[in-house]
């Protein structure tokens, strides 16, 4: 990413998002489609790949806290790397607001997910993102943590509360903060998946925060829509609980339990401090997604949770 703010003379166009004005790449997806793409035109973009998955998901204009917007958002080509780390339940409970509850994985411990995302082709133009989230119990669930964890893993249906979600473009920050009230700020982020997995996040001034390097496990390629998953974020919007669902269509991935030779370096920035404060330590699993398609829905109210 460039260090200085872009200008319209540098190939950017000013667009409105609610009451906010943001610069986006001229001729990019947001500039051309305003979140309501012509899928026949997208299909002509070699970088987007096969988009048949999206043709069965209609978009509609919905009311949001910043005015009417097209939903859901389409992410045609993405990659990511996720580390699942053990953390003491006492630390996780301190980080969560009531009535959210961490999902217990081992005695006295829950899970923290650190994820680097790269969105190569999407409705709001390419950007990178890093998430730190606590894996939580599904709202209003009771009973065995072990059984719930087993169902979560088997169905690939995860529920989490996001504590940090920095991004590296202004349109992604504005949409996340004002549309979803997610904890987003601008940072420099990189993710590369080659013979090795390399990722890092730095402050905009260049100060290092987190860096990751690991050997690339063997990658499996699967048929489209044969490995579907769902991630549900539970978060507050204007003081009320909401859930935001992300559907995933994974096409090429690798997974390792108790992986070796994974170097996660913490350099003292805000993401490093957050992991330290959570007590996130032992690495349980690494997931590398080399190619996936995502659908990001708008938040929906969780009124029953508000009454608990």
Residue 239: what pLDDT?
93
253 within domain boundaries: yes
Task: State the total domains in the chain.
Answer: 1
Residue 289 lies in a domain: yes
Share of the chain above pLDDT 70, in %: 95
Q: Please tell me the distance from the alpha carbon of residue 216 to that of residue 252, in angstroms, as a whole number.
A: 13
φ, ψ of residue 224 in degrees (nearest 5) = -55, 140
The reply to whether 14 falls in a domain is no
Residue 302 or residue 201, greater confidence = 201
Phi-psi region of 181 (alpha: psi -120 to 50; beta: other; left: phi over 0): left
**Average pLDDT rounded to a whole number, residues 51-80:** 93
Which token pair is 92?
């996780």
> DSSP for 151-177?
HHHHHTEEEEEEEE--BSSHHHHHIII
* Matching residue, tokens 């998955």: 53
Q: Where are the alpha helices (DSSP H) in the chain?
A: 29-33, 39-42, 52-55, 89-95, 145-155, 170-174, 180, 270-278, 303-306
The answer to the question of residue 17 being in a domain is no
The reply to whether 300 falls in a domain is yes
What tens digit of pLDDT does each residue of 100-136 get?
999 998 899 999 999 999 999 999 999 999 999 999 9
CA 102, CA 37: separation in Å to the nearest integer?
A: 38
* Predicted TM-score (pTM) of this structure: 0.94
What integer pLDDT is reported at residue 307 of this predicted model?
Answer: 57
Structural domain of 177: 70-306
What single DSSP character describes residue 258?
S
Beta-strand pair 228-237/157-164: parallel
- Give the tens place of pLDDT for each residue, 144-160: 888 888 888 878 889 99
Q: Which candidate, 269, 228, 266, 235, places its Cα nearest to that of 250?
A: 228
CA neighbor of 119 nearest in space, from 162, 167, 158: 167
User: 80: left (phi > 0), else alpha (psi -120 to 50), else beta?
Assistant: beta
The answer to whether position 257 is within a domain reads: yes
158 token code pair: 């995860």
Rounded to an integer, what distance in angstroms lies between the CA atom of residue 163 and that of residue 274? 8
* Average pLDDT score over residue span 250-271: 96
Tell me, yes or no, whether 126 lies in a domain: yes
pLDDT reported for residue 99? 93
Q: What is the pLDDT of residues 230-255, one digit of tens each?
A: 999 999 999 999 999 999 999 999 99
- DSSP-assigned letters across all residues of 51-106: -HHHHTS--EEE--BTB-EEESEEEEEEEEEEEEEEEEHHHHHHHSPTT--BPP-B
CATH code at 247?
Answer: 2.40.400.10
- Distances in Å between the alpha carbon of 47 and those of 80, 138, 197, 228, 306? 17, 36, 21, 21, 42
Scored b (16 or more CB within 10 A) or e, 289-303 reads bbbbbbbbbbbeebe
The answer to whether residue 202 sits within a structural domain is: yes
């Amino acid at each position: 990413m460039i260090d200085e703010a872009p200008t319209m003379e540098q190939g950017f166009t000013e667009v409105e998002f609610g009451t906010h004005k943001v610069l986006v790449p001229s001729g990019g997806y947001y500039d051309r489609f305003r979140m309501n793409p012509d899928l026949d035109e997208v299909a002509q973009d070699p970088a987007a790949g096969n988009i048949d998955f999206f043709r069965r998901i209609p978009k509609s204009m919905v009311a949001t806290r910043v005015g009417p917007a097209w939903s859901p958002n389409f992410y045609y080509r993405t990659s990511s790397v996720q580390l699942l780390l053990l953390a003491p339940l006492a630390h996780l409970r301190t980080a969560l607001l009531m009535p959210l509850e961490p999902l217990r994985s081992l005695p006295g411990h829950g899970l923290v997910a650190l994820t680097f995302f790269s969105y190569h082709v999407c409705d709001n133009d390419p950007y990178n993102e890093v998430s730190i989230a606590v894996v939580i119990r599904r709202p209003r669930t009771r009973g065995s943590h072990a059984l719930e964890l087993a169902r979560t893993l088997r169905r690939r249906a995860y529920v989490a509360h996001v504590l940090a979600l920095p991004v590296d473009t202004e349109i992604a920050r504005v949409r996340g903060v004002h549309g979803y009230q997610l904890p987003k700020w601008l940072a420099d982020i990189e993710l590369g998946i080659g013979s090795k997995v390399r990722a890092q996040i730095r402050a905009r001034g260049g100060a290092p925060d987190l860096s990751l390097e690991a050997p690339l496990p063997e990658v499996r390629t699967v048929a489209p829509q044969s490995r579907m998953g769902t991630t549900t974020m539970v978060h507050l919007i204007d003081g009320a609980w909401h859930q935001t669902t992300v559907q995933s269509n994974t096409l090429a991935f690798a997974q390792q339990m108790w992986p070796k030779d994974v170097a996660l370096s913490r350099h003292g920035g805000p993401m490093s401090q957050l992991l330290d404060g959570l007590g996130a330590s032992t690495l349980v699993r690494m997931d590398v997604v080399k190619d996936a398609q995502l659908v990001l829905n708008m938040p929906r109210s969780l009124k029953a949770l508000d009454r608990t």
